């Protein structure tokens, strides 16, 4: 009776359950980023306009049409506009990553021990709830930046479990042959979330003349995702009640390197692994450039290029559209190259990772030298972010290569350390761009150029796509395969040793 019911329910799903997980994982990242990025657009309309330009420096500013006024806010109600200077805005924008950094490792440990379903789901749910109440907190405290910072830290605490938990689930569900394309699909949710948030936010704020609507919308969508995810997805194939027998058997065969029992975490081997530190370097490089764009590009387009909020959201979304297209196509290309033996896993990961660093480094700088030619600047940013799309089939799935059993832990370490860039870049950008000038922003982009380049060199030299011995220390320890030599065999061993020297 139960098996018949299971068979009936499984027929409702037209695609395999691992693809259902891939789609829901994509939507998880989409929601996570839309809630994270919503403040980056909204804050441009939460702050009272200030005229920091002076006549002797005007050549370092861009005009708004025929006027040099910076008062192009869509929100005009003075009761919901606040006096936050550039440094304070940078502090508010970076606060999310304080909490985000803290829960990465605990999230990875919990997901490895108990499964990723609830670790991931509850993290997104909490972020959705706190995003929804953001307007209430800001208005009730009359824009006290300390309360806003505290709220963003709590939001970061919830979302910090997202990547480690999701990576743990992918390790249980995704075979090597499909790792690049499913991984790229899931992680490309970051670009799509940024696109959706930017496209909708600008028009929504313009239509409502209130920045609060952005937080209500995206916080509510995060809560709705949690309900659907809990009904559809499970931590591993064995727990899933509706998976077909064919898919379960296929995954059992393809994922034999994933342990069925909980393993003790080999901390010493992990923290002394050179490929892991190379992966951390690549993560820092990517995150520095990506968070600079995600957090501060709306401000650049508002303060320097002088876009109104609706146009800001539209033009700011175009680069992420290019990144999403490239990330999806490069995932298929990467899997095709590996499966057809055109590249080893290691070479593929290195090539696509470095491609995603050098290209953005060059074209972000080119955008800054485009100065007030807005169309050229947007195209340069678009090309830069398009290059960055190959990052996902490069190093982002590399944790699954190094250790399927500890993929959540590795993601927690790499993404957690990378999140430091999210703390530093908004605050540093705010501190460096107090006058909103082109030359100040060019300094910000030169810093990104240097970090992109140096970290990609480290990954190219020391990165790896091979499974590490510590993935299962009980089976693969360096000394595990060395049998103890019997006394009677000493002479034969000595002959073999001499033969090798000869």
In 3-state terms the chain splits into helix, strand, coil percentages (rounded to 5) of 75, 0, 25
pLDDT of residue 32: 93
For the ranges 46-55, 98-107, 269-278, the lowest mean pLDDT is seen at 46-55
User: Rounded to an integer, what distance in angstroms lies between the CA atom of residue 101 and that of residue 392?
Assistant: 20
Q: What would the two tokens of residue 38 be?
A: 């919503």
Residues of the chain above pLDDT 90, percent? 25
In this prediction, residue 370 has a pLDDT band, given cuts at 50, 70 and 90, of confident
pLDDT exceeds 50 at position 146: yes
For the ranges 54-58, 120-124, 275-279, 399-403, the lowest mean pLDDT is seen at 54-58
Residue 82, strand partner residues: 47
In this prediction, residue 64 has a pLDDT band, given cuts at 50, 70 and 90, of low
pLDDT exceeds 70 at position 287: yes
Residues of the chain above pLDDT 70, percent? 83
Residue 258: strand, helix, or coil: coil
Sorted by sequence, the CB contacts under 8 Å of residue 259 that are 6+ apart come out as 405, 472
In this prediction, residue 71 has a pLDDT band, given cuts at 50, 70 and 90, of low
Q: Count Cβ atoms within 10 A of the Cβ of residue 203 and give its class: 0-12 exposed, 13-18 middle, 19 or more buried.
A: middle
Average confidence score pLDDT of the chain? 81
pLDDT exceeds 60 at position 435: yes
Rounded to an integer, the average pLDDT of 421-440 is: 83
For the ranges 369-378, 410-419, 477-486, the lowest mean pLDDT is seen at 477-486
Residue 37: strand, helix, or coil: helix
The residue that leads in pLDDT, 150 or 177, is: 150
In this prediction, residue 42 has a pLDDT band, given cuts at 50, 70 and 90, of confident
pTM over cut 0.75:
no
pLDDT of residue 482: 41
pLDDT exceeds 50 at position 422: yes
In this prediction, residue 484 has a pLDDT band, given cuts at 50, 70 and 90, of very low
pLDDT exceeds 80 at position 11: no
Contact 211, 45 (CB under 8 A): yes
User: Rounded to an integer, what distance in angstroms lies between the CA atom of residue 430 and that of residue 426?
Assistant: 6
State the Cα angle at 43 between 125 and 64, rounded to 5°.
Answer: 145
pLDDT of residue 23: 92
In this prediction, residue 37 has a pLDDT band, given cuts at 50, 70 and 90, of confident
User: Rounded to an integer, what distance in angstroms lies between the CA atom of residue 20 and that of residue 18?
Assistant: 5
pLDDT of residue 30: 93
Rounded to an integer, the average pLDDT of 179-187 is: 81
- The listed range with the strongest mean pLDDT (46-55, 57-66, 135-144, 385-394) is 135-144
* pLDDT tens-digit series, residues 188-203: 788 788 888 888 888 8
The residue that leads in pLDDT, 422 or 133, is: 133
For the ranges 54-63, 231-240, 350-359, 365-374, the lowest mean pLDDT is seen at 54-63
pLDDT exceeds 70 at position 258: no
Of 358, 386, 369, 370, residue with least CA distance to 443: 369
In this prediction, residue 487 has a pLDDT band, given cuts at 50, 70 and 90, of very low
Residue 502: how many other CB atoms lie within 10 Å: 5
For the ranges 1-5, 380-384, 483-487, the lowest mean pLDDT is seen at 483-487
For the ranges 221-225, 258-262, 402-406, 469-473, the lowest mean pLDDT is seen at 258-262
Residue 82 φ then ψ, to 5°? -130, 155
pLDDT of residue 458: 95
User: Rounded to an integer, what distance in angstroms lies between the CA atom of residue 445 and that of residue 439?
Assistant: 10
pLDDT of residue 263: 67
Contact 60, 221 (CB under 8 A): no
């Amino acid at each position: 009776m139960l098996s018949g019911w299971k068979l009936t329910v499984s027929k409702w799903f037209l695609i395999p359950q691992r693809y259902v997980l891939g789609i829901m994982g994509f939507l998880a990242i989409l929601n996570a980023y839309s809630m994270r990025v919503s403040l980056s657009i909204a804050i441009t309309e939460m702050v009272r306009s200030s005229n920091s330009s002076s006549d002797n420096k005007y050549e370092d500013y861009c005009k708004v049409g025929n006027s040099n006024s910076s008062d192009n806010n869509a929100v005009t109600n003075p009761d919901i506009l606040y006096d936050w200077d550039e440094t304070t805005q940078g502090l508010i924008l970076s606060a999310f990553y304080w909490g985000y950094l803290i829960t990465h490792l605990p999230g990875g440990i919990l997901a490895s021990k108990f499964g990723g379903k609830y670790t991931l789901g509850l993290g997104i749910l909490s972020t959705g709830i706190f995003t929804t109440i953001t307007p209430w907190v800001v208005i009730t405290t009359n824009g006290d930046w300390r309360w806003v910072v505290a709220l963003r830290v709590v939001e970061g605490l919830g979302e910090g479990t997202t990547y480690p938990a999701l990576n743990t689930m992918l390790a249980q569900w995704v075979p090597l042959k499909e790792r690049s394309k499913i991984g790229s699909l899931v992680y490309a949710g970051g670009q799509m979330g940024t696109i959706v948030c930017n496209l909708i936010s600008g028009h929504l704020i313009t239509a409502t003349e209130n920045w609060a609507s952005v937080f209500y919308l995206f916080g509510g969508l995060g809560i709705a995702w949690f309900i659907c995810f809990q009904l559809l997805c499970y931590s591993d194939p064995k727990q899933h009640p509706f998976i077909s027998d064919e898919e379960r058997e296929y995954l059992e065969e393809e994922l034999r390197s994933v342990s069925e029992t909980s393993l003790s975490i080999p901390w010493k081997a992990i923290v002394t692994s050179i490929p892991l530190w190379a992966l951390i370097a690549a993560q820092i490089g990517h995150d520095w450039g990506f968070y600079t764009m995600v957090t501060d590009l709306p401000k650049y387009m508002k303060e320097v290029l002088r876009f109104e909020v609706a146009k800001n959201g539209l033009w700011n979304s175009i680069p992420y559209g290019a990144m999403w297209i490239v990330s999806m196509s490069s995932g298929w290309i990467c899997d095709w190259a590996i499966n057809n033996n055109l590249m080893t896993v290691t070479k593929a990961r290195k090539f696509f990772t470095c491609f995603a660093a050098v290209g953005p480094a060059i074209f972000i700088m080119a955008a800054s030298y485009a100065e007030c030619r807005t169309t050229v600047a947007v195209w340069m940013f678009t090309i830069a972010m398009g290059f960055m799309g190959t990052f996902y089939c490069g190093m982002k799935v590399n944790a699954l290569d190094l250790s399927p059993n500890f993929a959540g832990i590795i993601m927690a370490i790499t993404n957690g350390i990378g999140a430091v860039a999210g703390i530093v870049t908004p605050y540093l950008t705010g501190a460096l761009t107090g006058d909103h000038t082109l030359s100040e922003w060019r300094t910000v982009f030169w810093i990104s150029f240097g970090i992109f380049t140096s970290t990609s060199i480290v990954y190219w030299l020391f990165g790896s796509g091979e499974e590490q011995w510590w993935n299962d220390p009980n089976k693969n320890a360096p000394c595990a395969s060395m049998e103890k030599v019997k006394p009677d065999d000493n002479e034969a061993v000595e002959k073999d040793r001499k033969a090798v020297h000869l």
